[in-house]
Structure 1
Amino acid sequence: MAKLQGRHVETREDKGTARQVSDIVNSIARLVRAVGVLVEALGRWFD
C-alpha cells in the first residue's frame, strides 16, 4: 500500500509540473504572438 501511495503522490507532482510547463509554454506563445502583432503594426505605421 505504501508504494501505491508513493506512486500516486509522484503522479500528482508530475501533473502539477506538466501543468506549470504548459502554462509557461502558453505564456511564451502569447508573448511571441503579441510581439509579432506589435512588429507588424509598427511596420505598417512606418511605411
Structure 2
Amino acid sequence: MKLKLPDRFNIPVQPREWFLVPLEVIEEVVEKIQDGTLEQFQYEPETASLRQV
C-alpha cells in the first residue's frame, strides 16, 4: 500500500515501516528514558510488553 503523510514541516513522506505498540508501552518507554533505565529493557512483540534484560 502506498500512502503519503505530511511530516512536521508539512512535507509529504511515504512511511516504509509500521509499528504496532500499545500506548501503555509507549508511556512506559518514556518513563524509562526519563529515569535512565531504558537500556535495561527490551520490547517483546509477542506479548506487546517490555521485559527486563
TM-score (norm 2): 0.29
More strand by share: 2
Which of 1 and 2 has higher RCO (CA within 8 Å, sep 6+)?
2
Q: Which has the larger radius of gyration?
A: 1
